[in-house]
Amino acid sequence: MARIIRCPSCGALWRLEGAAEENYLCSACGREFSAASAQTVEVDDQALDAALAELKAKKSEAAQAAPRQPMAEPRFATKVAQELNTPTTAEKTEPPAQFDEKEAGRGAPMPAIYRTKKSGLGSFLLFVCILLCAAVGAACAFLMMHQFVLSQAPYVRPVYEKVCRSLPCPGFVWADASAFKAKATLAPDETLGLAKPTAVVELTNTSEYPQMLPVIELKYLDPAGSTLLQRVLEPADYGFPQKPAVLPAGESLTAQIKMEGTLSFAATAAQVKPVVDAGR
């Protein structure tokens, strides 16, 4: 049995084969229609082939006798059109097939064309992927270029110190004065003794991250514990002029700090404390 579908717009008849399609495009009127809105009917293959052969023969005869005279529609095509106007129980029981131009004859019209509906989901997912890649790239650049960023905006250092505890930041150095343990002793001068002592300061980085050397406060004390002299020293003042002056995690350093003048009384002890983060 051959399956025929009728265009609901212009009434053109089409022969279908193969799997059913959701939408069709009528090449006679150029309008798209759905399979559900069109009428279909089944006819005998031999009868359809005979009608097409008859139509082809009449076209040939009419072209030879009077090429400009319009040819009447064959009775079989009229019968098929009438059957399409009457719904049958056989309608839509089988999927429509694609048009077979060889069987329909050389003069048959073009087949209906199926058009798939475009989904916006793919475009949305592509946009999300591009956005995520851009965000990841910006974050990596922010971490890798920390030295330049901090030179332009030092106030973002606390952000780096938090983020770089979880994410890799090659070359980043923390600046936390509280991470240091400090102690100081006095070494007497060869001639003036403790009236002009040399302070021996030891700093230990107790954290698990490399730290910039801090600014320290050094006090010289008398036997009663009163302050004879107080000095605030940058890393360069106690022997580490490089910038940044960094102490790796868990390591210690010792600095000898000499006094330029003399004390009014001999000092008996020294007290040292990190007070300021040198990197801020």
Q: How far is CA 6 from the centre of its chain?
A: 49
Tokens coding 221: 């004390």
Express each pLDDT in 246-271 by its tens digit.
999 999 999 999 988 888 888 989 99
3-state SS, residue 130 = helix
Yes or no: say if 238 and 257 are a contact pair by the CB < 8 Å rule: yes
Given 3.30.70, 1.10.1240, 2.40.128, 2.60.40, which CATH number is that of 177-274? 2.60.40
Q: CA 88 → CA 17, 129, 247, distances in Å? A: 19, 52, 92
Rounded mean pLDDT of the chain? 77
Tokens coding 24: 């069709």
Return the pLDDT at 51: 79
**pLDDT of residue 15 exceeding 80:** no
Yes or no: say if 198 and 258 are a contact pair by the CB < 8 Å rule: yes
Return the pLDDT at 214: 93
Return the pLDDT at 85: 61
Task: Tell me how many helices (H) and strands (E) the chain has.
Answer: 6, 13
Share of the chain above pLDDT 70, in %: 71
**pLDDT of residue 76 exceeding 60:** no
**pLDDT of residue 203 exceeding 80:** yes
Q: What is the mean pLDDT of residues 79-100?
A: 56
Local confidence band at 96 (pLDDT 50, 70, 90 cut-offs): low
Query: Does the predicted TM-score (pTM) go above 0.75?
Result: no
Cβ count within 10 A of residue 76: 16
Express each pLDDT in 152-178 by its tens digit.
767 777 777 777 777 777 778 888 899
**pLDDT of residue 90 exceeding 50:** no
Q: Show me where the domains of the chain are located.
A: 2-43, 177-274
Tokens coding 21: 């399609």
**pLDDT of residue 114 exceeding 60:** no
**pLDDT of residue 84 exceeding 80:** no
Q: What is the mean pLDDT of residues 23-48?
A: 79
Cα distance between the two ends of the chain: 89
Residue 9 or 215, more confident? 215
